[in-house]
């Protein structure tokens, strides 16, 4: 009763709708898959220096205060790898409150974890990958500082979701050479 073109059209539209439905189902169910990662961050030391950094785009970098952290990370994130995980983006942020600014969150270290094998993190005495400085020129008045480890799984397909983890408090000292 039907000719070839009609059959082809019917098959194509059915295939398209099934594909759409699959995409929706995958996107909605991936964040619900269980995982039980372990995580631990220990901070060894924080040093603040000034006058030693040069940032090509930041003209004020020569006289700004920069903090250097030494920390350890122990984490087992392999359970976060499910069939729909392309990679894990792990990063550590330093959060603090400073005069005039309610929220300051700066990523100081990040790593892309591509497989279960790489998911067992054992970092010893690492330094921050990215320069940590306040929006203002110094860390004066900065309080309630925290180091937080975040994991952001990136699926092969679907919705992005976030799992943030342990937070440890720390304080950022002023540099030895007192500068105004």
Contact predicate 97/104, CB 8 Å: yes
Give least dist CB 78 to another protein, A: 18
Helix (H, G, I), strand (E, B) or coil at 79: helix
Q: Which is nearer to another protein, 123 or 131 (CB)?
A: 131
The Cα 31–Cα 20 span in angstroms is: 18
Give least dist CB 176 to another protein, A: 26
Residues in contact with another protein by the rule CB under 8 A = 1-3, 6, 23, 27, 57-58, 86-87, 89, 91, 93, 100-107, 110, 112, 114, 130, 135, 150, 152, 154, 156-160, 162
Those residues whose C-beta lies under 8 Å from the C-beta of residue 61, and which sit 6 or more positions away, are 53, 54, 55, 133
Helix (H, G, I), strand (E, B) or coil at 39: strand
Four-point Cα dihedral 171, 96, 165, 93, nearest 10: -90
Q: Which is nearer to another protein, 43 or 107 (CB)?
A: 107
Give least dist CB 9 to another protein, A: 12
Give least dist CB 101 to another protein, A: 5
Q: Which is nearer to another protein, 18 or 176 (CB)?
A: 18
Q: Which is nearer to another protein, 48 or 61 (CB)?
A: 61
Q: Provide the 8-state DSSP code for 155.
A: E
Q: How far, in whole angstroms, is CA 73 from its chain's centroid?
A: 14
């Amino acid at each position: 009763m039907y000719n070839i073109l009609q059959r082809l059209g019917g098959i194509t539209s059915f295939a398209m709708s099934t594909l759409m439905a699959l995409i929706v189902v995958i996107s909605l169910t991936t964040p619900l898959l269980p995982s039980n990662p372990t995580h631990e961050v220990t901070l060894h030391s924080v040093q603040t220096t000034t006058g030693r950094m040069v940032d090509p785009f930041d003209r004020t970098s020569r006289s700004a205060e920069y903090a250097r952290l030494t920390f350890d990370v122990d984490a087992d994130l392999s359970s976060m790898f499910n069939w729909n995980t392309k990679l894990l983006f792990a990063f550590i942020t330093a959060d603090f409150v400073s005069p005039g600014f309610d929220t300051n969150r700066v990523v100081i270290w990040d790593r892309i974890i591509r497989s279960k094998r790489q998911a067992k993190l054992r970092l010893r005495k690492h330094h921050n990958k990215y320069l940590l400085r306040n929006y203002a020129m110094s860390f004066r008045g900065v309080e309630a500082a925290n180091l937080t480890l975040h994991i952001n799984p990136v699926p092969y397909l679907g919705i992005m979701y976030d799992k943030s983890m342990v937070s440890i408090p720390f304080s950022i000292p002023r540099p030895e050479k007192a500068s105004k």
